[in-house]
Structure 1
């Protein structure tokens, strides 16, 4: 029996969002705005998906960022210039330390590996290139491929259909409980990468697997 296809979320699962804090601080903004901006961008992206509209992460994220920066006192650049600098930093985030070893272990165990992001597939490709494991990841799927943002079920189903893979033959690995819940509703198996130790939200169905990092993932996923 073939091993399941591993579908990796990108933002915060593979990328280290904490590295965005200095980009905000360099513009005279509070570093905590990085998480505020990311969450607000997802919120607006989810809202657009709910009403049947598709926008890229960048299309949603830039106006959200401009709105936040407009309220920063002592901003060191014009809001548009500051937003450009921060978005460049977001596109160049480093991978978490476990990404290379985790993906290498999954590939060695015989899994096909793809990424599925609410961002652009090109950004995911560049991220795994920075991790040094680009040759081990088969495809990088983004909103431009699925037409909707996760956790809409069609994001997972369309992404897998483009690979010729049934949902039940894939495992989504992610740090976000909402993402894992959406994948489960779409028929995928799920693996929680618990990077923070935060309590699991009771409203979401628990993942089938839970690991502290990507390194352990290959050892717990069964056929």
Structure 2
């Protein structure tokens, strides 16, 4: 295996714990509503990419929440929607994240944060969580106007980080992100977060991680 030079990280649910946002949604729309909302958020972001349209992730998130409210007979004003989704910029990093990023950064890897979220939200998230300083670059799909796992998104991230696929690892807690990165030629590391599973019909990831610091131990021996 060729040496790894760059590590790209998904953000939501990979580095940051979405629990406060899920609790906010469930408190308004009922238990389990947040899981439905997030799944449909991904669904409609893919509809945008496939159909050649583009709205930023925050707008899609708001629209999908409004749809889910309507399904339950709950009319949500724009102000109420924004209030419910407000925790998105106030998420904590998982306990293993800071140590893992520190070890990887100290080992000389180029670290890239890469999200479907719009740039301003992404930056606010990383600063609030106290991990912004670990990244060499912070990238959003907003620049390419397509959502992960579209192959153009990974090509964009590689180009912007001056990296090549064979020397780059995509770290994500989402099976769809792992599958997309694999198809784009990147090495992959699946982060085993609660309730997250790999897609059985895709290739197995290069590595599976229980905590982020495990990746530093794995890569030092390559």
TM-score normalised by L of structure 1: 0.89
Between the aligned partners of 1:151 and 1:198, the Cα distance in structure 2 is 16
Between the aligned partners of 1:113 and 1:153, the Cα distance in structure 2 is 20
State whether residues 6 and 168 of structure 2, in contact with CA within 8 Å, keep that contact through their aligned partners in structure 1: yes
**Residues matched between the structures, number:** 220
State whether residues 69 and 79 of structure 1, in contact with CA within 8 Å, keep that contact through their aligned partners in structure 2: no
Between the aligned partners of 1:108 and 1:30, the Cα distance in structure 2 is 44
Between the aligned partners of 1:71 and 1:152, the Cα distance in structure 2 is 29
Aligned twin of 2:42:
42
Q: Does 1:104 align with 2:102?
A: yes
Give the superposition deviation at 1:19: 1.8
Change (3 A) 1:119 1:212: same
Between the aligned partners of 1:146 and 1:168, the Cα distance in structure 2 is 22
1:74-115: per-residue Cα shift (whole Å, max 9, x none)?
A: x6x844332111221123222222221111111111111011
Between the aligned partners of 1:64 and 1:52, the Cα distance in structure 2 is 19
Give the superposition deviation at 1:165: 1.3
State whether residues 9 and 117 of structure 1, in contact with CA within 8 Å, keep that contact through their aligned partners in structure 2: yes
SS at structure 2 position matched to 1:151:
coil
State whether residues 122 and 140 of structure 1, in contact with CA within 8 Å, keep that contact through their aligned partners in structure 2: no
SS at structure 1 position matched to 2:29:
coil
Give the superposition deviation at 1:183: 0.5
Give the superposition deviation at 1:25: 4.5
Gaps of 5+ in 2: none
Q: Does 1:212 align with 2:210?
A: yes
Between the aligned partners of 1:131 and 1:63, the Cα distance in structure 2 is 26
Aligned twin of 1:87:
85
Aligned twin of 1:14:
15
Aligned twin of 2:32:
32
Aligned twin of 2:57:
57
State whether residues 4 and 169 of structure 1, in contact with CA within 8 Å, keep that contact through their aligned partners in structure 2: yes
Gaps of 5+ in 1: none
Aligned twin of 2:6:
5
Structure 1 segments of 4+ aligned residues over 4 angstroms from their partners? none
Between the aligned partners of 1:101 and 1:123, the Cα distance in structure 2 is 23
1:5-25: per-residue Cα shift (whole Å, max 9, x none)?
A: 010001111121122133124
Q: Does 1:138 align with 2:136?
A: yes
Change (3 A) 1:198 1:48: closer
Between the aligned partners of 1:118 and 1:193, the Cα distance in structure 2 is 17
Give the superposition deviation at 1:189: 0.7
Q: Does 1:23 align with 2:24?
A: yes
Between the aligned partners of 1:29 and 1:199, the Cα distance in structure 2 is 25
